[in-house]
Amino acid sequence: MSDLDLRELHDQDEFAGLYRLFDDIWRPEPGNPPVTVELMKVFSHTGGYVAGAFRDGELVGGSVGILAAGGTLHSHVTGALPGQGIGMPLKLHQREWALERGITRITWTFDPLVRRNARFNLVKLGARPEEYLEDFYGVMGDAINEGDRSDRLLAVWRLEETAAPYLVERATAGVAERDGLPVVGSVDGPVVLVATPRDIETLRRENPEAGRAWRTAVREVLGGLMGAGARVVAFTDRGEYVLNLSEGEQPG
């Protein structure tokens, strides 16, 4: 990615450019942007993370993070133009920025139903979901999330640790996929798989009822098991969360 320039943003015009980029990506309702220009200025001024990715001088991606409790950087919003391959360079820039400041933990939220994001976060980065957050943002008025509940997973990226590979030998299907719909099954562990839809964003537009069924099933099983102490330890090539129940409460 030698043609990609990643750097912190400090100028008001750059903040405005990132605001417009995020507006093009999410197409939010008026008054409901992912982050305002004013907040970017505040975060940057107080030591937070505001960065942009430029290709041939054009802003094509960016990320905004805030300093949080426990020596953590919370990555509030990250977005990029599709097909640019910017996701990994942005996260690596964020990682380097954090380590230079003695920060060894980055957190962010993501929709558990978006399979490509789950794979990127868990497989490519080695982050792990540590909390299931029901309807975290309330009603969201944008073109990507409209009409769905805003359940999120809190991803935790421990920068000085490497996620160990997890071999799935025997597991039960807590949520499986059949004909594009979720099927809730057994959760009597000790290892449980929770499937995800192939493309929840398209499904929400074309079959909202099926999208709601996936949300309910994943909230019930993934959220329920994590709430009882189960740990997400991997994500399979088939798009399934792998949960280890050995440290949580066994369903009964």
Amino acid letter for position 199 = D
Q: What does the pLDDT average to over 133-150? A: 74
Reported as a pLDDT band with limits 50, 70 and 90, residue 80 is very high
Tokens (6 digits) for 221: 């099983």
CB within 8 A of 88, min separation 6: which ones?
Answer: 120, 124
* Sheet strands (E) in the chain: 4-8, 49-55, 58-68, 72-80, 105-110, 128-133, 152-158, 172-178, 181-184, 191-195, 231-235, 240-244
Residue 143 in this model has a pLDDT that exceeds 60: no
Residue 251 is predicted with a pLDDT of: 42
Reported as a pLDDT band with limits 50, 70 and 90, residue 147 is low
Reported as a pLDDT band with limits 50, 70 and 90, residue 169 is confident
Angle at the Cα of 81 from the Cα atoms of 77 and 84, rounded to 5 degrees: 115
Residue 103 is predicted with a pLDDT of: 97
Helix (H, G, I), strand (E, B) or coil at 150: coil
List the domains of the chain with CATH numbers. Answer: 4-158 (3.40.630.30), 172-244 (no CATH)
Residue 165 is predicted with a pLDDT of: 86
Residue 145 in this model has a pLDDT that exceeds 80: no
Residue 83 is predicted with a pLDDT of: 87
Matching residue, tokens 């990127």: 120
Q: What does the pLDDT average to over 197-214? A: 94
Reported as a pLDDT band with limits 50, 70 and 90, residue 250 is very low
Residue 142 is predicted with a pLDDT of: 55
Residue 30 is predicted with a pLDDT of: 80
Average pLDDT along the chain = 92
Reported as a pLDDT band with limits 50, 70 and 90, residue 249 is very low
pLDDT (tens digit per residue) in 120-138 = 999 999 999 999 999 998 8
Q: What does the pLDDT average to over 222-235? A: 97
Q: What does the pLDDT average to over 94-107? A: 98
